[in-house]
Structure 1
Amino acid sequence: MSTQTSTVAHDAPDPAKPGEGGADSPKGLRGHPWLTLVTVAFGVAMVALDGTIVAIANPAIQKDLGASLADVQWITNGYLLALAVSLITAGKLGDRFGHRQTFLVGVVGFAAASAAIGVAGSVSLVIAFRVLQGICGALLMPAALGLLRASFPAERLNAAIGIWGAVIGASTAAGPIVGGLLVEHVSWESVFFINVPVGALALVMGLVLLLDRRAENAPRSFDVLGIVLLSVAMFCLVWAIIKAPDWHWGDPKTLTFLAVAVLSFAGFGFWEGKAKEPLLPLSMFRSVPLTAGTVLMVLMAFGFMGGIFFVTFYLQNVNGLSPVDSGLRLLPLTAMMIVASPLAGTVITKFGPRIPLVSAMVLAAVAMFGLSTLDADSGIGITSLWFGILGLGLAPVMVGATEVIVGNAPLEHAGVAGGLQQAAMQVGGSLGTAVLGAVMASRVGSELPKKWAEAKLPPLPGKQEAALREAAEVGVAPPAPKGTPAQAAEAMKHVVHDSFISGMGLAFICAGIVAVLAAGVAVFTSRGTNDAGPSVHI
């Protein structure tokens, strides 16, 4: 059902003054829709780039700081979890206090947290500042969508979201290339320092160009209990999944965290139906397309972020590539996402999202199953094929699912819808990394001793066997002890690499199954039905 909501420009300049222009002026710079799009693009590009640029730096961080696999996972999961927990709340902040202000605070905080990571000297500080970085990223991402929703008229909103999605797709895909160049030629710290000048540019442009428009019936209060329940539920769920490989799934500690997560989600759902101004209005989910778009975003991110986490270790630790060469090996993925994202925006705007999204997830599934067949000797030709198909499949989903979620939400909940869209992607990525990491660890744990025995290698003491397993989970073959015959040393390396590849293959099979499920969900998507912002001349 279509809804009509008007907006109010809170810091609008006098339309009579030359060079300023009001909300309806075609010549003004402040608040102009396309300049608004360019401005928020710098902010979201910074966050999207950071989501994957760190993956290529993980091996260097691990070696430099002496981090374990669990530490490296928390560098990713801490960031993703902070985003996931904070995004919907941050979206509500934008709806309440204005998306312009929220966006600018997020930009400053994200750049500052990035600089702090670059000077941190321990893995614990890196993780802590990654969490802060995630919270600040949560402030600016839904605010960016809220600004677009309020700035563009309905007939132009789809095109704007298509371009917005293309920026995210291109930034996400460019992460491995940029990260590889920085890690190899500068340092892993530079991966984070790069956000400082980008953030400064976004801040200056935001102060000059952004105009704060809010819905007249914007929320006036906060659902504190809802925030607490959702945060507890998300933390307990992901924590249980991450710790399960060490604790085991049947362990009372794992089951306790899962139980708390389930109860918290149930309590959140119950409370949201009672709250006067809920954090996440359940009425939004009466829209089948919006619900389908949210689930689709979760499933897409699950397979992509979970899978790409292990690809970097495969390329560097198994194939022996340098960080920059690893990024170049991922170039087909990068190129296809950059090319396909704007094309997907155009196609979805013209024909609707259903057929492009179903087709895209089928392609992503094919790529995931193809990547599960890689071995230690797979050449650039076969890896380029699967990476290219994966990029072609992911780009339309990043564009189309955003349009489906935000376009089907009322304007007064634009920030919450933007937060929901981003939360779905970050939750999916966090769960994908955790679940596929658990799958990987379980397979390596079962395959390593079996292959070790088959190679007729001497048994290892308990501590050495545990250390070997931890190294094998990231594809690292530790140096053979002094005096080990060359043939035995080579056999040890093959056992470690084969165990890692077996685990990675199973993880990609799981990701492919999830992509098939996502294709089924995409059938229920459709174009946004709610009216957008004011009739702006553009």
Structure 2
Amino acid sequence: MSQDVVAGDQRIRSASASAATGRRGNPWWALVSVALGVIMVGLDGTVVSIANPRIAQDLGASLTDLQWITNSYLLALAALLIFGGNLGDRYGRKKIFLIGVVGFGLTSLAIGLVGNIIGIIVLRALQGAFGAMLMPNTLAILRGAFPPKELNQAIGIWSGASSVSIAAGPILGGLLVEHVSWESVFYINVPMGAIALLVGLAVLNESRSESIRQRHDVPGILTLSGGLFVLIFGLIKASGWGWTDAKTIGFIVVGLAVLALFTVIETRVAAPLLPMRLFANRSISVSSAVLVINFFALFGVLFFVTLYLQNVQRASPIATGVHILPLTLAMMVMGPISGRVVEQFGPRPPMAVGLALSGVALLLLTRLQVSSGFNTLWPSLLMLGIGMGLVITASAEAIIGNAPVDDAGVAGGLQTTALQLGGVVGTAVLGSILTSRVASVLVDRLTGAGTPADVANHLAGSTELISQGVAPTVTDSSASVQAAVNAGSHSAFMTGLHTSLVVAGVATLVAAALSLLVRRGANTEGAPVVVH
């Protein structure tokens, strides 16, 4: 380490120590501030999943519409998180974080007021763009505020705050949807955002990277965002077009080609949006891939298990939240615990164990049937929550801890991009797999349940509806025929769900093997410049 870096680090620590006697500059108050932002984003993710069935009823949304309500938000996050981290490194992490907080709250209010599916999808994308300013800078702020020996503990609490919001989301969302309206699940972000803004203004110091002085990497921004959009659009539409359709293949190929062009651009510009040197570190590249796979499984499974509970088992929104609690509470408890585990053993053991637990849990969920009780569900969800809690903290340490401090914002953006990209791909790919499988077995399941052949063939066009776990209503039919349609439709949905769970479980076990290549980060390369 150079003398200049050491001297700079000493000045930062001295300044932090003098400020720590009050709220401003105290690292633990900084953790409170960023945790409020993380909680706001976490609540939004889980309450929306609870609201999806009611949105579909009130606004006539299809399965594809519901996927886009989720994916437009996640896609904007995935495409812009690295840029959001870069903005924080360049202009100040506190400033960009607080702009993200304000924008997230205002777009949440607009989503509740807009009143149509297209408006919701567009505003969800805008909400994701503000989330992309908020999330990566939370980790960058922590990296600058905490000394190395306390950083893992802070990241563990950061992870725990996210899990608290995930745990509270289904219950709060169920209460709001059932007793107020589905719009109210978005309104809750307005007071949360106001509190996060006031606390952030009061306690955060400004920090930025002094090494960034060049102009923005506009070609990099355009190719990364454009490539991700085209690729994910093709994956989402594959369920309707078919995986071998020329349009599906065309979008996927073009998206991959644009992303390849992005990597070429990043190796040639003076100030790249995503420095390719980060991926020369094996732990960063492997941890990013592992996170994509891990949240590919989690987001996809949560999306469809929620539909299973509400549409197949007819659980209320509140009951659905209670059923998912083993997962979310386990993630909440494991956040702080996993910070201590990572501190003692490094990221590799908890990451490998967490992924293995998650993979096994996903495979065990294939035991679910139409009439399964809670005892079939909760052990797998508990195991999945423990695994996820370990992986989130371990992967954050592996990525943030192995990145140079001047790239703290970009590294935070990379970590959150991997997480959100996994969520986008999970809901898109696993949704397409479920829909395709439902289409392939639907007529057989209907006739096997006693549905007349002519009715079964007529219902073959109802794949989109049945893929949500909803049995279509057959007009002018007897009660016995409708009962057969219900049984056959739910059986087809469960077959599709099981196939998606197997794919998610196997992918997660592959990620567990990859995680053995990860190592502990040095986390000792100075600190960002603090601006008082």
Moved more, 236-245 or 103-112: 236-245
The answer to whether 1:238 aligns with 2:232 is yes
How far apart, in 2, do the equivalents of 1:384 and 1:255 lie?
39
- 1:146 maps to what in 2? 140
The answer to whether 1:443 aligns with 2:437 is yes
2:470, 2:490 within 8 Å by CA — same for their partners in 1?
yes
1:177, 1:330 within 8 Å by CA — same for their partners in 2?
no
Q: How much does 1:253 deviate?
A: 1.4
Whichever residue aligns with residue 153 of structure 1, its letter is P
Q: How much does 1:68 deviate?
A: 0.6
Q: How much does 1:464 deviate?
A: 5.2
Which of 135, 148, 159 is 2:129 aligned to? Answer: 135
Whichever residue aligns with residue 483 of structure 2, its letter is E
Moved more, 455-464 or 407-416: 455-464
- 1:252 maps to what in 2? 246
The answer to whether 1:160 aligns with 2:154 is yes
Which of 502, 505, 508 is 2:498 aligned to? Answer: 505
- Identify if the C-alpha distance between structure 1 residues 334 and 315 changes in structure 2 by more than 3 Å, giving closer, same or farther: same
CA offset digits 1:341-374 (Å, max 9, x no partner): 2111111112211111111111101110011220
How far apart, in 1, do the equivalents of 2:68 and 2:495 lie?
23
- Identify if the C-alpha distance between structure 1 residues 28 and 461 changes in structure 2 by more than 3 Å, giving closer, same or farther: same
| Between structures 1 and 2, the one with greater helix share | 2
How far apart, in 2, do the equivalents of 1:462 and 1:372 lie?
26
* Partner SS, residue 397 of structure 1: helix
* Partner SS, residue 495 of structure 1: helix
How far apart, in 2, do the equivalents of 1:430 and 1:172 lie?
17
Q: How much does 1:535 deviate?
A: 11
Q: How much does 1:177 deviate?
A: 2.1
2:446, 2:487 within 8 Å by CA — same for their partners in 1?
no
How far apart, in 1, do the equivalents of 2:281 and 2:377 lie?
40
Q: Which runs of 5+ in 1 are unaligned?
A: 16-20
* Partner SS, residue 372 of structure 1: helix
How far apart, in 1, do the equivalents of 2:16 and 2:3 lie?
25
Which of 421, 425, 429 is 1:427 aligned to? Answer: 421
* Partner SS, residue 104 of structure 2: helix
- Identify if the C-alpha distance between structure 1 residues 462 and 488 changes in structure 2 by more than 3 Å, giving closer, same or farther: closer
Q: How much does 1:378 deviate?
A: 0.8
1:354, 1:525 within 8 Å by CA — same for their partners in 2?
yes
How far apart, in 1, do the equivalents of 2:250 and 2:165 lie?
38
Whichever residue aligns with residue 417 of structure 2, its letter is A
1:4, 1:531 within 8 Å by CA — same for their partners in 2?
no
1:2, 1:531 within 8 Å by CA — same for their partners in 2?
no
- Identify if the C-alpha distance between structure 1 residues 465 and 480 changes in structure 2 by more than 3 Å, giving closer, same or farther: closer
Q: How much does 1:87 deviate?
A: 0.3
- 1:270 maps to what in 2? 264
- 2:215 maps to what in 1? 221
- 1:471 maps to what in 2? 465
The answer to whether 1:349 aligns with 2:343 is yes
Q: How much does 1:175 deviate?
A: 2.1
Q: How much does 1:503 deviate?
A: 0.4
The answer to whether 1:458 aligns with 2:476 is no
How far apart, in 1, do the equivalents of 2:7 and 2:413 lie?
20
1:150, 1:532 within 8 Å by CA — same for their partners in 2?
no
How far apart, in 2, do the equivalents of 1:253 and 1:171 lie?
39
Q: TM (normalized to structure 1)?
A: 0.94
Q: Which runs of 5+ in 2 are unaligned?
A: none
CA offset digits 1:505-532 (Å, max 9, x no partner): 1100011011101101211122211325
Which of 311, 328, 339 is 1:317 aligned to? Answer: 311
The answer to whether 1:517 aligns with 2:496 is no
CA offset digits 1:260-311 (Å, max 9, x no partner): 1121111111111111111110111111111111111111100000111000
Whichever residue aligns with residue 148 of structure 2, its letter is A
How far apart, in 2, do the equivalents of 1:157 and 1:4 lie?
23
Q: How much does 1:130 deviate?
A: 0.4
- 2:363 maps to what in 1? 369
Q: How much does 1:24 deviate?
A: 3.8
2:446, 2:456 within 8 Å by CA — same for their partners in 1?
no
How far apart, in 2, do the equivalents of 1:429 and 1:242 lie?
12
- 1:383 maps to what in 2? 377
C-alpha root-mean-square deviation of aligned residues, in Å? 2.2
1:96, 1:220 within 8 Å by CA — same for their partners in 2?
no
**1:69-218 equivalence runs, <5 A:** 69-218=63-212
- Identify if the C-alpha distance between structure 1 residues 376 and 5 changes in structure 2 by more than 3 Å, giving closer, same or farther: farther
* Partner SS, residue 213 of structure 1: strand
Whichever residue aligns with residue 329 of structure 2, its letter is A
- Identify if the C-alpha distance between structure 1 residues 405 and 5 changes in structure 2 by more than 3 Å, giving closer, same or farther: farther
The answer to whether 1:528 aligns with 2:521 is yes
Whichever residue aligns with residue 159 of structure 2, its letter is G
* Partner SS, residue 523 of structure 1: helix
- 1:18 maps to what in 2? none
Q: How much does 1:214 deviate?
A: 2.2
1:472, 1:500 within 8 Å by CA — same for their partners in 2?
yes
Which of 31, 34, 55 is 1:37 aligned to? Answer: 31
* Partner SS, residue 67 of structure 1: coil
Moved segments of 4+, more than 4 Å: 1-9, 459-464, 532-536
Moved more, 48-57 or 495-504: 48-57
